[in-house]
Structure 1
């Protein structure tokens, strides 16, 4: 897990006069859980504008993630809104262990984040037809959960060093407990299922949904000792089943030396339904590839 320096936190509180300032939304109170909402809305924004939800890791914050990532600095040049949720827990983790959060409109952190999206669409002119999510570690777990439980909201996701949707479930965990539930079995890469079982799990969280499923991009390092590497293959199995994909092709040293790209089904790096990147020797967590995210989302 990454720890924030005081400098990073202060740097995240951009000057109000900046075209890409980070702003806390004090009047967001839709809940159902008590997450903070921060946004970046470029002054030159042309609406309706794409929206990216960027979810921080444990021991992190919205302010910190806004400077660790480059989405804030890219927002003006590529005309998009960024929503940075801020965890309510003392450890900075999001709840991905409770049934409430895993389930569509179940009342957990995932629903609060979706309510932030709706708020940003109404107040800032965000485009509900071009809404995406990305995150690191705990934020990557939440990315998988959001794409799984709210396929009607998100068009694509990019998860950095996370776990499959539903993998972190802990019996008896609630959406309001602090810290959120923790699954050692999942974190250690010991929770395995068939592709069909993973797909059925995701479908169970929104059983009446019959529409299109979001595209997914998955990143993981082979030397990850926090959310261990087997979670990469489990996540790829899950989304290949959810998306109905059975064939794949691999390309070595893409997008850089030591990374192996896997594309499921038809398409390219930017158009395929499912793309994975296995990073040889990289620990927790894989560095954010923002421009590749934007290309995958169809923004850049």
Structure 2
């Protein structure tokens, strides 16, 4: 009888998970939610939606906000307050959509062996790809990345901070469970889950060891953790808040006794666990009488306050521009840059390196960062001209003007005749994928780099590529080899790359005029 009751409760909760993220109402926003379809490695087969506020600093913070089982990224965007807070405080929000089932549908994978290993695969790798995308394309600050989520998303918050402690600075878990609570897909709720069955009890040391084993050998700083749970939650029992507290205080080497307690709002009992210097590492909220329906109104603000995103820096003075930019040691595939350090009243925290193709024209894009006054750029094409600039960033998030420009031309590689043969992997009404596009060395000498050009039909645009560096000018596409596939043996040595393109619906034309040098 107890098992039947538990299963029925779980089934009802699945419907609750699907609707709970819309109770707060749609935020009135200036920017819009945008889906990103080609964000990188995606073994979890997840979808990515992105909210980029119109007003934001040069290097905005990144918040990953995750829905509950049965929900979606757009649903959590509509039903939570993180996007409206992003408008106010200038951070970017990633809304992933999970596609795993485990009995409910659209649940984040916190149970599989692959998900529990750093770089093992599944949803964690997909989420890291989304963060990398924002850092590359929107200059997201890699030192200010945060995770939050509700129910399954709250579970994934604790999971990501355990598996990727070097990526995240802090997390806020609503109605989550400790990392490694689930033994496998069969142990995921509803039903007779040992994790959420109401009797889960491990020692703080056992919980802490689980986190430490997720990334063996990691000795860097751990992300701070904020935990939320309703005292009347029976789907994800309130008792699991205690287990989560035990896990994260043990990770930080803290006592199980809070260093302070208070009631920030009626019915909200908060316990804080600080280190000897007074910095709060773990913070737990018990919400009196609340069931499985968090976050409620106002809670998201407390989460981003815990992240440190509600206090704008008082210092708005940018660093001085780096001076004396020079290049040396240029080879066929790389060059080394050095410059004179910038000065700043709050302290320079790093430098951003920008690169543009050719001696004139082209757009400078960020290709790397450095904590020192030097940087080595690799993966360049032989016999090619590039220009570089550097800018500094300080502790308050201010960015300097760019340095002067230095121009280099890489050494010429040994090239010969080659051919480029495209294969249409798939196509649909308004797009297609060319994979593989095979490069063959038809000469009698070794090639150390290659360049392919082709023409896109009118109205067609590239939406993604892999295993090559691609640039476009109008409808002309230029593809250059990268470090791992530029060298081809004489007489039929081969490699390949691929790309995806969009086109007007119903247009069946394909690229043409492929040449290889």
Structure 1 stretches lacking a partner, 5+ long? 174-178
Aligned to 2:106: 92
Pick the structure with more helix per residue: 1
CA offsets 1:222-254 (integer angstroms, 9 cap, x no match): 1111110110000000000001111413534x2
Alignment of 1:1-300 (within 5 A): 1=13, 2-4=16-18, 8=22, 19-89=30-100, 91-170=105-184, 173=185, 181-182=188-189, 184-246=193-255, 247-252=257-262, 254-266=263-275, 271-288=279-296, 289-300=299-310
What CA distance in whole angstroms lies between the structure 2 residues aligned with 1:41 and 1:257?
Answer: 33
Measure how far apart 1:3 and its partner are. 4.6
| Equivalences, count | 286
RMSD over aligned Cα, in angstroms? 2.4
Return the TM-score normalized by structure 1.
Answer: 0.88
What CA distance in whole angstroms lies between the structure 2 residues aligned with 1:49 and 1:73?
Answer: 15
Structure 2 stretches lacking a partner, 5+ long? 1-12, 311-517
What CA distance in whole angstroms lies between the structure 2 residues aligned with 1:186 and 1:135?
Answer: 18
Measure how far apart 1:89 and its partner are. 3.2
Return the TM-score normalized by structure 2.
Answer: 0.52
Measure how far apart 1:126 and its partner are. 0.6
Change (3 A) 1:283 1:268: farther
Measure how far apart 1:214 and its partner are. 0.4
What CA distance in whole angstroms lies between the structure 2 residues aligned with 1:226 and 1:181?
Answer: 12
**1:89·1:180 contact (CA, 8 Å) conserved in 2?**
no
Pick the structure with more strand per residue: 2
CA offsets 1:179-215 (integer angstroms, 9 cap, x no match): 9944711112322111001000111110121100000
Dislocated runs of 4+, deviation >6 Å: none
Select the structure with the greater relative contact order (CA < 8 A; seq sep ≥ 6).
1
**2:18·2:69 contact (CA, 8 Å) conserved in 1?**
no
Measure how far apart 1:32 and its partner are. 1.9
Change (3 A) 1:130 1:80: same
What CA distance in whole angstroms lies between the structure 1 residues aligned with 2:260 and 2:293?
Answer: 22
